[in-house]
Structure 1
């Protein structure tokens, strides 16, 4: 029987935390520009969050195997709350870079630790179902946040969005503190007790684990092109309105949120590698077709299909990561797994920028799609290695 007493407070707190992040997404670039941020400065503001998050995730994950999960969740939510208060008080771009760096530390203490917490609870054979539930909370929070952020900004100004993030983060902190019991450290330390670097060396030496990490990195490469570069493409192709751009981006996220549960259960019952193969092939083909979409409706259909492909990928990879985490410790595994995700986002950002300069924005999408296809097929071939290797 699913332990809802443990799961529900965790899932709700993750939803609230990610809702807070989503709320500031449409506001942050405008606020940074109001402080005099140039394009390069905006890049630094984004990078500061990504760098500290990427560096801290494996460390926090490994420490949570040794010290327990709950304290890190509380610390991360507290940092989120503080960041929400500090951002409106920033008086310079330098302030904002430092605050966003702190924000990245807080993020490193929430998502990978929550994933490890859920993995601790998942019985053998139900990994996909449990990770699907967590992914539902993540996607629902991220997907709903920008809409609320826009509403708060229109009604009460930009600062309201940041204060809303702070309020939601402190609310989630109270929920975790009062409603979610701490799991015994012995449960968190289900791995073999290796330190972080020893565990990472074993992961890279394992064909199966390194294949999983490559698959996670490769499937994240499309994130920046399909989020940050898509508005520019839609504007160039058919003078899309802001509403049309928002709908195309949102429909993919909402489909992901709705289908995480069913696809997680499917991953538990079916061949995970076959599901992964279908999902990866789907998103790669869609990336190649995006430049051919000449109007809003055709692009919307493509992003609906992309959402279906990603809905297969997310819980399947999460289930595979949970299986591997039993060898290394779930916190350590999820920290490195999320580092691979960040590596994919960074790779996608660089690839999209370089490809756009070399061959143009329109054709950068199929180039990235083909790259993702090749990398994911290599990763799936590695994942065929027996789990005990």
Structure 2
């Protein structure tokens, strides 16, 4: 049953993320056509992140108590509705509201999927199993922009959003009929959300993991939502399909490397891999504003994808371990996803402010600097936490 559940889950996430990826190159163009500037575009993205961030820990904790399946079903249904609503938006405020509604749906999908995989992963293979989930996510969100660009170029803006709706409803049907309502419990029983948050705040290793997840998500807005606007500043004409290919280079490289890097994570020092991945991301991001052709951008985004391919299984494995041994899978993954949303929100605000006040290039420079500094500090926190855990275990053994 567990193998069938894993396959169903991965297929569902692929379909759902394919639908989301379809609208990536289209959303900034639609927002700009409705009068959105840099800050307004950031707010459209931030509305999604704020609602998702606030809801994720609650959903994650409740899923530990009530079960997970129907939260995912509800989230996919909301995604389908969002795809139908966005083409009818007539103002930036409409987009902000609809994206907030989408954030609620996302809060019922991503942390639940992470919790499912965390439960299914055998001890010591967390990196590998998180790699499987990341493949589904990145293949979906990587292929999506290519199709989205093609839809925009051939059928118009609205077609991409309707495609998202169709794919989301298809994933909805798949979960309803194939996903079990409950899985055998593994690990500790979840406590209430507030006590769990207090305990997380007291563990340096957990704080470091969450801080690293927060920092490495700051890159999402400038690398995704602002890329079409950056490339359209070139003298040569850029199509939606070309933008989609650049985004796909990053996400597909990331997906291809998930299994080998996931195995690497299970056998090597995670902190070292985290730092190497972060520096790779930071360097490539700083060079993005200097790209002047589609080929150059594809290369830079592929390097960015290599860095992320190291980081995602490292942090996913860390979060799975913490959920199994200390907080409950859903609760930990809900807060872990909150950290992701916080990073996206920060990136949206930082990129929007930088673009409007210093130019779009500075959105990439400042993001690269923030990601590197915060993640390296987070890696140090994880190291201190692991040393404290080892010292505590030694003392327990002596007793």
The residue that corresponds to 2:226 in the other structure is: 229
1:75 Cα deviation from its structure 2 partner: 1.1
**After alignment, is 46-55 or 15-24 more displaced?**
46-55
Structure 2 vs 1, CA of residues 231 and 197 (structure 1 numbering), >3 Å: closer, same or farther? same
**After alignment, is 245-254 or 88-97 more displaced?**
88-97
1:44 Cα deviation from its structure 2 partner: 4.5
Q: TM-score, normalised by structure 1?
A: 0.89
Give the 5 Å matches for 1:104-115: 104-115=103-114
Select 2:274's aligned residue among 256, 264, 276: 276
Pairwise CA RMSD of aligned residues? 2.7
Residues 18-74 of structure 1, C-alpha deviations (whole Å, 9 max, x = no match): 11112233333455566x454466555433322211111111111101111111111
The residue that corresponds to 2:121 in the other structure is: 122
Structure 2 vs 1, CA of residues 175 and 356 (structure 1 numbering), >3 Å: closer, same or farther? closer
The residue that corresponds to 2:249 in the other structure is: 251
The residue that corresponds to 1:307 in the other structure is: 305
Cα distance in structure 1, aligned partners of 2:297 and 2:150: 26
**SS at 2:124 equivalent:** coil
- The aligned length equals 385
Residues 153-184 of structure 1, C-alpha deviations (whole Å, 9 max, x = no match): 45544443333222222221221122222224
Structure 2 alignment gaps of length 5 or more: 393-399
The residue that corresponds to 1:181 in the other structure is: 180
Structure 2 vs 1, CA of residues 380 and 121 (structure 1 numbering), >3 Å: closer, same or farther? same
The residue that corresponds to 1:140 in the other structure is: 139
1:350 Cα deviation from its structure 2 partner: 2.3
Structure 2 vs 1, CA of residues 289 and 139 (structure 1 numbering), >3 Å: closer, same or farther? same
**After alignment, is 203-212 or 159-168 more displaced?**
159-168
Cα distance in structure 1, aligned partners of 2:293 and 2:28: 27
Cα distance in structure 2, aligned partners of 1:304 and 1:294: 16
**8 Å CA contact retained: 1:10, 1:114:** yes
Residues 66-96 of structure 1, C-alpha deviations (whole Å, 9 max, x = no match): 1111111111112122223333455665554
Structure 2 vs 1, CA of residues 75 and 157 (structure 1 numbering), >3 Å: closer, same or farther? same
> Is residue 164 from structure 1 mapped to residue 160 from structure 2 by the alignment?
no
1:199 Cα deviation from its structure 2 partner: 0.8
Cα distance in structure 2, aligned partners of 1:360 and 1:84: 32
Cα distance in structure 2, aligned partners of 1:118 and 1:299: 33
Structure 1 alignment gaps of length 5 or more: none
The residue that corresponds to 2:17 in the other structure is: 18
Give the 5 Å matches for 1:1-389: 3-31=2-30, 36-39=34-37, 42-90=41-89, 94-184=93-183, 187=185, 190-236=187-233, 239=236, 241-242=238-239, 244-293=242-291, 295-326=293-324, 327-356=326-355, 359-384=358-383, 385-386=385-386
